[in-house]
Amino acid sequence: MAPSKKKHATKQACVIPEGFAVLPLQFSPDSAARHSLYVKEHKVRAEKTSYRPLDRTLFVLNIPPYCSRSVIKDLFSQFGVVASVELRDVPGSFQESGPKLSKIFRPAAKQGFKVGYIVFESSSSVAAAKSHPHDEPLVVSTEQKPVKTGVQKWIQQYTKSIIHPDKLQQMVDSFMQDYDKRQEEEAERQRQEAEKQQEDEEGWVKVTRGHKGAKARPHSEAANQRTLQREARKKRRKELMNFYTWQHKNTQKEHIAELRRKFEEDKQRIALMRAQRKFKPY
């Protein structure tokens, strides 16, 4: 017997404005409540990175807090092989900030709904996820792969947070070794740049002929630091000269005031002598 048209219509995907497809989410098989995920193909042309290929990346909104990276990977593995899963608090470009830290040294992640970027091995997996029927929910917690919530989740997180001192010491030693190595590499790079760009006190750079086709070297960080130091020295000398100029002007003003005071005293003395008729200029 052929299936009815009404039943066939329920197998269609639900697409809302802005091109998002609705994927129903159900926490457990016997749960009556459902949650909705909104997915569409990631198409940000301005983002030129290999971590989110435009033809194999699925952009997901409204991911609940109980869905971790591993849970999201298991849910979307039914559409194809998942290469990577990235969860963020807000949409944004991919950014690598500093060295990769252990979970012990990373700050605690914020709890709340997140957005995700799921990268598949094949571009057909993105189309399969977008065309998933809206009446067939994705089940988060199953008997084979249960997801703990509430008190059980807190107990599990507390148990994982307890680390053996020896293992913690190994992580700290490994991190410090990597840090010392990066510091040595940075010091060596600065030393080489300082040797390449030897500047005199007037700021001239000795230029040597390089190989054919070599591009001009931009000012290094060490050269910029030396320039800033020279400017600071010039500024201090200028301030000192201004101080001496002010002191000289102040001395001149005091000298002129003293002369004026003596001139007034002499005028008073001459007036007194005239009054006493003892003034004989000739």
10-residue stretch averages of pLDDT, the chain, 282 residues long: 43 78 87 87 71 85 87 90 88 62 65 88 88 86 79 76 82 86 88 68 56 53 76 78 71 86 88 73 60
d(C-alpha 158, C-alpha 161), whole Å: 5
Residue whose entry in the numeric block shows the structure tokens 């009815």? 4
Residue-wise burial string across 81-108, b where 16 or more C-beta atoms lie within 10 A, e elsewhere? ebbebbbeeeeeeeeeeeeeeeeeeeee
Distance CA 103, CA 57 (A): 26
Fill in the DSSP letter of residue 240.
Answer: H
Please check whether residue 21 is in contact with residue 15, taking contact to mean a CB–CB distance below 8 angstroms: yes
Q: What is residue 199's three-state secondary structure?
A: strand
Per-residue pLDDT at 120: 92
- What pLDDT is stored for residue 6 in this prediction? 41
CATH architecture of 11-161: 2-Layer Sandwich (3.30)
Tell me the pTM. Answer: 0.53
23 with 36: CB under 8 angstroms?
A: yes
Which pLDDT belongs to residue 242?
66
3-state secondary structure of 25: strand
